[in-house]
């Protein structure tokens, strides 16, 4: 039996789904919340992402590089996910709760043609840790922003 190829984590943030989604849908803000340390900044793309939007990011994992992402999952104020050439999906799901919004971030490499290589390189464990750090940073940014 094969293992699921998704790692994820959740956090509750004292903020509305609209406020949090606005931040996630603005690729210029991704560097502020990135817990991996890989996102260096926006290279190209719209100010606000929507389904099918493409955006280029300056990245650095050891060496600097650029990557172009495409939004492949989108439901305003509820879900946004993007992928690039390796076809794994970075996904954020937002759910209103009494305390604010539950945000679940996941990295799904089940659709990647290089899934086994990613496992060999220990990307699932590394990304699980980065997801936790990203969610904590997202919480700090949202909860410390003026309304």
Mean pLDDT of the chain: 93
Single pTM value for the model: 0.92
Edge to edge, what strands does the sheet with 79-83 contain?
6-13, 100-108, 89-97, 79-83, 63-75, 54-61, 39-44
Is 52:67 a contact under the CB 8 Å cutoff? no
Q: For the chain, list the domains and their CATH numbers.
A: 6-143 (3.30.530.20)
Closest CA to 73 of 108, 115, 45: 108
Question: Which of the 8 DSSP states describes residue 40?
Answer: E
Tens-digit pLDDT profile for residues 36-75: 999 999 889 999 999 999 999 999 988 999 999 999 999 9
């Amino acid at each position: 039996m094969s293992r699921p190829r998704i790692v994820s984590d959740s956090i509750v943030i004292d903020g509305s789904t609209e406020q949090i989604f606005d931040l996630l849908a603005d690729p210029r803000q991704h560097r502020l919340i990135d817990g991996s340390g890989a996102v260096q900044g926006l290279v190209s793309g719209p100010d606000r992402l929507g389904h099918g939007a493409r955006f280029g990011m300056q990245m650095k994992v050891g060496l600097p590089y650029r990557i172009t992402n495409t939004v492949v999952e989108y439901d305003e104020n509820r879900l946004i996910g993007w992928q690039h050439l390796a076809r794994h999906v970075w996904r954020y799901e937002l759910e209103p709760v009494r305390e604010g919004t539950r945000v679940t971030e996941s990295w799904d490499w089940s659709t990647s043609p290089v899934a086994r290589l990613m496992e060999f390189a220990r990307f699932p464990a590394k990304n699980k840790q980065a997801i936790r750090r990203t969610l904590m940073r997202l919480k700090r940014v949202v909860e410390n922003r003026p309304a």
